[in-house]
Structure 1
């Protein structure tokens, strides 16, 4: 269990308050019952907790979730509170001692309990009120500049007059706070308990990096990741948005499947470099989105070439035209090339993305944004299917 300390309310204070909550199956105080899978306290005092559940005990576990939520909210200096249930198949159902009475909990609030992994969730085809298109920016391989493309694309879309939000869905390596110079930002909460996104550069931003210790690793199991991601999408007050960009982690794992199964994605953009070692993984990424019936809006070739700032000569460090050829082979649109430019790299490190300031870079991403909108207008989102692994 990862614990993140805070300058306001502390993890110890929250755990102390939870000692009076008894696990209805073991009768033990919750912190010592092995049911508290994760407890995160942000620097601003917001609390995220994950409780381990089993498919056979969801009714009792939902009441426990409600009780935990109420107890945490009663702790002094606590801000927004999010408590979710997660299931781990390797955990057997806790045995209930006959000598230990089951404590009564307040009735559950009116919401559907989460479905166990592998089942078609009630949240499938979930839409976010006020949000129009939801676009996943993905890469089957790390290190290809996916997050750089995602944030600069979002800025370019905003400059075209759209209302844009960005959700940093890379819970293991959140980079949005650094790339937008919002590392010190702390999301506040609405009267209804939802988180308010951080606003910067004309965008609405949300990342796990805003509610956790930026230097601490996220040692979370898959179900916790999926619950946290779903919570970040549902319990954030996004307001009215034309487009929500989802910056996903590399690969084809839990996060991508969660998005594809539970969210009504309008489409996915694949980012790659021209080199063969990256292109080999593009096939897997495209295949995953096709299997989940998410429209692939196209392929972006990042780091397409290096242009000497003095001579203007181009050098194709990673090969030439690899992504374009791969797009033709896979029969998906090729959205464009992004050069390896120092200003783009510096913009990501300084928190001032190149699309917001550099004229030449802004034009590259404007062309990319226009291509995405064109493909989006031609693509229709399909219902998220149930994925069955045989």
Structure 2
């Protein structure tokens, strides 16, 4: 006798997502079950195309169904639907999640991390935008190698964001000269951020990453007031000076009711280009320990390697220019962990899509 749909669902109720802590059926991840004799097919809908447990979940689901009596073949299709944290009625209805990328101080590679995480998410299949909110020092155009002036859509009355490496991009650097300084007071900064957010035709995005200026100032406060931010990523280097400023940055977001999704340790260690040996230039483990004690997830570490520096200066992000390099693999792993943190946060808040 052929297996029934209810038997299949019951088997899949025994498979739990290790990060969210609930079974695949209650999470709404199992769809389109079909039974044809001894062959069962169904769709596994992940909460993000960048899911770090993609293969693990697929294997567990496939094995659970294959154990059922009368089943000889399991055909599993994997797709993804990114969960929405930003309400539909919000001012950016096409954007599902807004992720702030910040740091306690400058010089820690925050923009490098934001650029490569955005591209890595896009490479995994997500729809991604990147907003350069560092008004005084907009470095995103140089790191992406794009300088042209964006078009204006007269129908929507909005600026059309530029596109590079699979992501949509907007920066004040596209509107002012590269060597032209921006000398504005706080209220003007807030209005500039508002225009970069609301006067740009972002369209449908799974993730909009916002590259913030260093520190804890007007832009951070304005962003939290203007839009419902899904969460923040903190970027730091291993030195104590950077670490403790990063902890202040995390505390700032928490006071603004913006959850901290995790921390990235940049320039974590040096990889010799000749022998491949890893050398820890700074003391090891302090970032992970300090943030873990505060209940903040350690998303991963990025090595200090020449290809990151050279690529950033040439407009060639490392995840595209050197896709097989250790640095590129690190950014991809961090992007997966970040996407997972967004999904876990959403389910923790609502328990459903």
TM-score calculated relative to the size of structure 1: 0.64
User: What is aligned with 2:93?
Assistant: 129
C-alpha contact (below 8 Å) 1:306/1:339 kept by paired residues: yes
Separation of aligned partners in 1, 2:348 and 2:109 = 28
SS of equivalent to 2:268: strand
Between the aligned partners of 1:127 and 1:146, the Cα distance in structure 2 is: 26
The match for 1:186 is: 149
- Are 1:355 and 2:319 matched, yes or no? yes
- Residue 200 (str. 1) matches residue 164 (str. 2): yes
Partner of 1:329: 293
**1:346 CA drift (Å):** 1.0
- Counterpart secondary structure, 1:205: strand
| Shift in Å, 1:217 | 1.1
Aligned pair 1:308/2:253, yes or no? Answer: no
Matched position secondary structure for 1:298: strand
Structure 2: unaligned runs, 5 residues or longer: 1-88
Q: Relative CO higher for 1 or 2, CA cutoff 8 Å, sep ≥ 6? A: 2
Q: Select between 358-367 and 144-153 the one with higher mean Cα deviation.
A: 358-367
Cα distance in 1 between the residues matched to 2:251 and 2:273: 38
Contact 1:174 1:209 survives alignment (8 Å) = yes
The C-alpha deviation readout for 1:230-277, integer Å capped at 9, x for no partner, is 111000001111110100000010000011122111110000001101
CA distance in 1, matches of 2:233, 2:348: 16
Matches within 5 A, 1:55-94: none
Given that 2:247 and 2:291 are in contact with CA atoms closer than 8 Å, whether structure 1 keeps it comes out as no
SS in 1 for 2:224: helix
Q: Give secondary structure in 2 for the equivalent of 1:363.
A: helix
Q: Which residue of 2 aligns with 1:51?
A: none
- Contact 1:126/1:262 (8 A) holds in 2: no
In structure 2, what is the equivalent of residue 236 of structure 1? 200
Give 2:282's aligned residue. 318
> TM (normalized to structure 2)?
0.71
Paired residues for 1:1-390 under 5 Å: 126-183=90-147, 185-191=148-154, 192-358=156-322, 359-360=324-325, 361-380=327-346
CA deviation string 1:163-219 (max 9, x = no partner): 111000000000011001102x11010013210000111110000000112111110
Does structure 1 conserve the Cα–Cα contact (< 8 Å) formed by 2:102 and 2:212?
yes
Q: Secondary structure at the match of 1:268?
A: strand
1:357 is displaced (CA, Å) by 2.4
What runs of 5+ residues in structure 1 fail to find an aligned partner? 1-124, 384-390
SS at the partner of 2:177?
coil
**Deviation of the 1:380 alpha carbon:** 3.8
Work out whether residues 150 and 160 of structure 2, in 8 Å CA contact, stay in contact via their aligned partners in 1. Answer: yes
The separation in 2 between residues aligned to 1:218 and 1:235, in whole angstroms, is 20
Instruction: Report the Cα distance in structure 2 between the residues aligned to 1:265 and 1:142, rounded to whole angstroms.
Output: 22
**Aligned-pair distance for 1:329?**
2.4
Is the CA contact (8 Å cut-off) linking 1:283 and 1:330 kept in structure 2? Answer: no
* Alignment CA distance shift 1:146-1:318 (3 Å): same
For 2:280 and 2:299, the matched residues in 1 are separated by: 19
1:250 partner SS? coil
